Amino acid sequence: MIASALWIYPLKGARGVPVTSAEVTPRGFAGDRRWMVVGANGRFLSARTHPGMLALHAALRPNGLRIEAAGHDAIEVEAPATDAPRRTCTVWSSTLDLPEAVDARRWIEAVMGPGTALVYQPDDAHRPTDAAYAPGHEVSLADGYPVLLASETSRQALEKEAGMGLDMRRFRPSLVVDGATEPWAEDDWQDVRVGEARFRNVKPCGRCAVTTFDPDTLARSDEPLRTLGRIRKVGSKVLFGANLVPLGPGTVRVGDAVVIES
């Protein structure tokens, strides 16, 4: 098996950026989901409630972020200083004090609506993963875990069951693996080595309505959730992909061998 694609998502909820290599940090791939849009109440915004975020193009810059949105001039923002004023923000059950990119406020409000703001997770803003599955680990502003693995073999099996093409971008993976002999084999992988880096598979990934949006047109349908509900439902969740935590630093590259160690 090989790593056939790597993705980072500089801005939570926005389009992903394909990369040929990524540095693995305790929170996931370097640069992944350290920026976030919040509402006036400090709660994160995502494509679940604001599907237009899937059309935002966000790219890392040496000390910040560039964001493009249709109908607006692009904006380049520097990461706020560590000692900048902070606001209380929530990501699911996590509460963090994060600095706001104040210079971007007018632009973000024009794109995302009144009262919205762009915030950044500095290195000193720690967010633990769910201790029930990954005690002692931390995560960026991703929904729950540092790295999401998806299998091409499983995607192809899902396409066959659904009777339609399903672009892998719907599933917003960090790491795409090609060459698994069986669909859904990733459910049983434990320790996974990719190039220089090692990861532990802590749980399958429960999927949400974001997967139902076409990544190019943003048109919405019932798939793939309808088919996952038929073939991959466990309790109240429908599953696709595996949540990983890093077991140490390293670099992963497209084309790296993927070895299942246990």
- For position 27, what pLDDT does the model report? 98
Q: Which pLDDT score, from 0 to 100, does residue 83 have?
A: 87
Q: Which two tokens stand for residue 40?
A: 């006036």
Q: Which residues contact 122 (CB under 8 A, 6 or more apart)?
A: 79, 80, 82, 98, 99
pLDDT at 1: 98
DSSP 16-50: -EEESEEEEETTEETTTT-EEEE-TTSBB--TTT-
The residues of the chain scoring below 50 in pLDDT are none
Fold annotation for 2-27+130-260: M1 Pyruvate Kinase; Domain 3 (2.40.33)
Tell me which residue has tokens 């769910």: 130
User: Residues 102, 87: contact at Cβ < 8 Å?
Assistant: no
Per-residue pLDDT at 82: 84
Global pTM value: 0.96
Nearest one of 152, 141, 140 to 176, comparing CA atoms = 152
The whole-number pLDDT of residue 185 equals 98
Who's near 56: CB < 8 A, 6+ residues apart? 11, 13, 14, 15, 67, 68, 69, 111
Give tens-digit pLDDT for 227-249.
999 999 999 999 999 999 999 99
Query: What are the boundaries of each domain within the chain?
Result: 2-27+130-260, 34-120
What is the rounded CA–CA span in Å between residue 247 and residue 245?
7
| Residue 68 half-sphere exposure toward CB, CA atoms < 13 A | 6
Q: What is the DSSP pairing of strand 147-151 with strand 175-178?
A: parallel
pLDDT of residue 50: 94
Task: Look at residues 56, 99, 58, 55 and name the one whose alpha carbon lies nearest to residue 76.
Answer: 58
